[in-house]
Amino acid sequence: MISIVIPIFNEELIIDQLYTRTVNALEPLGMAFEIICVNDGSSDTSLEKLISIHQKDKRLKIVDLSRNFGHQGAILSGLNHTTGELIGIMDGDLQDPPEVFEKFYKKMISGDYDVVYAVRKKRKESRFKKWSYWLYYRLLRYMSAEGIPLDSGDFCLMTKRVRNHIIQNPEQSLFIRGIRHWVGYKQVGVEYERDSRLAGETKYSFSKLVQLAYNGVFSFSNFPIKFLGNLGLITIGLTVIYTIYLLSKRLISGEVPEGFTTLIIAIFFFGGVQLASIRILGEYITRIYDESRGRPLYIVKDFYN
């Protein structure tokens, strides 16, 4: 069996097309399948539409969360309810074409892969978003010791054993694509063209995208801490050089350069460095605090199985 996990948040305009296209994409694979839609606290009629489809086709199952827990939490809850030997993840806005699963499956069996993930070769989004995504993934790859693949999202097909390892790592600051890469096994990327949103508005606001980017950086990289250490060493070095310069001037000419402006600039600079350092350290401490509380990443209200 193949299980497809789809997080849903206020997608009433495309539920019917999402179901139809996903079923049509999976049936040619010639195996049993289940579609697990995770209702992530939708406030529109998404849940009602999903229930209506479920009553006609039991292959569509619904995980109804008690509130909106976010995209990554919704994916994790769906993974925990899968029963297939192969598990796929795709977004519910049809920007990830379900027809690509056939391509994933053929690639998987051709090379005995455990994970086939999608690599976005083209995005139908604004120029600012395209540039931001391009820059972020390259910065993340540079800062992360894990070597997370460039331009890859959560859209993928994986084996059950990879899924089992992912759900054993319920980190509070979830970054599914990073954990998927971290567990290892044989993985390969497949290029595809990411479609534009079929209808409605994007549910990933700028602040949510920034939070996801934070999770990727702070969960899979110690670069910020190392950067602070290097900045401190550079600052100490510059201070020593400037001190030697002042002493030389004093001993040779008996004069010491004076400058109120220079002093103020130095105070503001070092004050900014200290505040930035506290902010970065605070981010790590906050994440430690979140992990220590051990709160569940989601709460399932109902499961339509």
Strands 86-89 and 2-8: parallel
Residues 158 and 253 in one domain: no
Exposure b/e, 277-291, CB count within 10 A at least 16 = b: beeeeeeeeebeeee
305's CB contacts (< 8 A; 6+ apart) are: 61, 81
Q: Please report the pLDDT score of residue 182 as a whole number.
A: 84
Domains in the chain, number: 2
**Same domain (yes/no): 148, 174:** yes
Which pLDDT score, from 0 to 100, does residue 198 have?
60
pLDDT digits (tens, 9 = 90+) for 96-133: 889 989 999 999 888 889 999 888 776 666 666 666 66
* Higher pLDDT pick, 305 / 127: 305
For residue 36, the number of C-alpha atoms closer than 13 Å in the C-beta half-sphere is: 26
Asked if 140 and 247 sit in the same domain, the reply is: no
Quote the pLDDT of residue 203. 53
Tell me: do 142 and 56 sit in the same domain. yes
* Shared-domain flag, residues 96 and 182: yes
Q: Give me the pLDDT at residue 173, please.
A: 74
Judge if 127 and 216 occupy the same domain.
Answer: yes
Same domain, 180 and 264: no
Residues 169 and 239 in one domain: no
157 and 239 inside one domain: no
The domain that holds 161 is classified in CATH as 3.90.550.10
Provide the pLDDT confidence category of residue 65 given band limits of 50, 70 and 90. very high
Give, rounded to a whole angstrom, the gap between the first and last alpha carbons of the chain: 15
Residue 150 has a pLDDT of 67
Could you tell me the two tokens for 182? 């971290």
Domain with 276 in it: 223-293
> How large a percentage of the chain has pLDDT more than 90?
29
Q: pLDDT tens across 141-187, in order?
A: 666 656 666 667 788 999 999 999 988 877 777 778 888 888 888 98
Res 87 pLDDT > 70: yes
Residue listed under structure tokens 């990554």 = 72
Give the residue-averaged pLDDT of 275-286.
75
Closest CA to 152 of 186, 119, 103, 193: 119
What is the C-alpha to C-alpha distance for residues 11 and 46, in angstroms, rounded to an integer?
Answer: 6
Torsion over CA: 295, 298, 299, 303 (sign): negative
Same domain? 129 vs 106: yes
- Among positive and negative, which fits the CA dihedral 58, 59, 60, 64? positive
Q: Are strands 300-304 and 60-65 parallel, antiparallel or unpaired?
A: antiparallel
282 in the same domain as 206: no
**One domain for residues 260 and 178:** no
Which residue from 87, 93, 112, 71 is spatially nearest to 31, judged by alpha carbons?
87
Mean pLDDT, residues 231-260 taken together: 71
Report the C-alpha gap between 289 and 127 in whole angstroms.
Answer: 37
The sign one gets for the Cα dihedral 89, 91, 97, 98 is: positive
- Helix residue ranges, H only, the chain: 15-26, 46-56, 71-79, 100-111, 127-143, 160-167, 176-182, 206-220, 223-252, 260-293
Average pLDDT, the chain: 80
Residue-wise pLDDT for 181-237, tens only, equals: 888 889 888 888 776 656 656 655 556 566 666 666 666 666 676 677 677 777 777
Q: Give the range with max mean pLDDT: 62-66, 179-183, 265-269, 288-292.
A: 62-66
Q: Is the pLDDT of residue 139 over 70?
A: no
Cβ neighbours for 13, distance < 8 A, ≥ 6 positions apart: 198, 199, 200
**What's the rounded Cα separation, in Å, for the pair 285 and 100?**
40
Evaluate if residue 291 carries a pLDDT over 90: no
Predicted pLDDT at 232:
72
pLDDT at residue 254 in the model? 66
